[in-house]
């Protein structure tokens, strides 16, 4: 059994922008491996199935609720009068297309976060096994309780994403802010969920904390790029797995360097 490694005097240097670019390049190469192409199927069908169920069973009741909300809410009435007074538009007059659009804005991201969570918990072990054998055979697996850590991380990130998404829906009334909110929450989801799963099987708890602290900006940049790609519907097919590949390449390369640095210090 590998002995514990102390990182008490470890530096705080991150992999940097070059590491992020390298991770994307390696992930693009890895994505075309037959095993990784096959891995895309599970989260894709989860997203497709969840979206279908939500649209079939939840779209009608949600549309009725939004119709009542627009018609009866004093807050909506005040906002509607303010929009008319400044010469923009009337929410009541736009109900015919505003309600269906609002239901899609609510339901589709919920199916998307479910697919990402499934990819994090169920597909990432396949990604880690594949990359460990091909690209990082020298990075020893020292993680403990990886499934529990991954599951708990996926749950709290998904719940916070869903709650935050719903609470910030009013920003969609101002189109630029709607896109900003969307990019923020998907950046949060990708970075917070995938950064843990990328290293949970290989890194100890101490190593995870150090890697996340020293490479926090890199993880957020990767999350931002994935969130921007998420604006393109065709990318939904590949993003759950491709994002996992990027985060794993970035995380395991960071872990490799961390351990190499510690070996140099010990020597």
Residue 225 lies in a domain: yes
Residue 87 lies in a domain: no
Chain-centre distance for alpha carbon 165:
13
Count how many domains the chain has. 1
Residue 116 lies in a domain: yes
Residue 205 lies in a domain: yes
Q: In a structure prediction context, what are the per-residue pLDDT tens digits for the chain, which is 267 residues long?
A: 445 455 555 555 566 778 999 999 999 999 999 999 999 988 888 888 888 888 888 888 988 888 887 777 677 677 767 777 776 766 666 677 778 888 888 898 998 998 899 889 989 999 999 999 999 999 999 989 999 999 999 999 999 999 999 999 888 877 788 899 999 999 999 999 999 999 999 999 999 999 999 999 999 999 999 999 999 988 988 999 999 999 999 999 999 999 998 876 655
Residue 74 lies in a domain: no
CB 27 within 8 A of CB 249: yes
Residue 3 lies in a domain: no
Residues 6+ apart with CB under 8 A from 185: 109, 161, 164, 165, 168
Among 267, 261, 198, residue whose Cα is nearest residue 226: 198
Residue 69 lies in a domain: no
Residue 57 lies in a domain: no
Q: Which domain holds residue 171?
A: 16-50+108-262
């Amino acid at each position: 059994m590998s002995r514990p490694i102390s990182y008490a005097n470890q530096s705080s240097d991150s992999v940097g922008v070059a590491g992020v670019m390298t991770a994307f390049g390696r992930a693009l190469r890895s994505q075309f491996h037959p095993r990784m192409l096959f891995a895309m199927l599970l989260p894709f069908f989860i997203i497709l199935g969840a979206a279908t169920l939500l649209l079939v069973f939840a779209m009608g009741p949600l549309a009725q609720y939004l119709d009542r909300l627009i018609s009866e809410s004093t807050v909506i009435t005040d906002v509607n009068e303010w929009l008319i007074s400044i010469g923009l538009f009337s929410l009541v007059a736009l109900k015919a297309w505003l309600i269906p659009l609002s239901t899609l804005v609510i339901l589709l991201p919920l199916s998307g976060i479910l697919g990402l969570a499934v990819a994090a918990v169920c597909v990432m072990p396949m990604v880690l096994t594949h990359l460990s054998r091909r690209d990082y055979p020298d990075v020893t697996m020292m993680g403990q309780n990886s499934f529990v850590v991954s599951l708990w991380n996926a749950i709290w990130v998904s719940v916070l994403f869903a709650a935050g998404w719903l609470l910030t829906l009013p920003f969609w009334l101002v189109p630029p802010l709607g896109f900003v909110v969307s990019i923020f929450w998907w950046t949060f989801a990708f970075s917070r969920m995938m950064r843990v799963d990328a290293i949970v099987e290989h890194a100890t708890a101490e190593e995870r904390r150090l890697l996340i602290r020293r490479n926090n900006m890199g993880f957020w940049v990767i999350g931002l790029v994935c969130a921007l790609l998420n604006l393109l519907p065709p990318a939904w097919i590949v993003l759950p797995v491709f994002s996992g590949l990027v985060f794993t390449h970035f995380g395991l390369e960071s872990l490799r360097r961390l351990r190499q640095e510690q070996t140099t210090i010990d020597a």
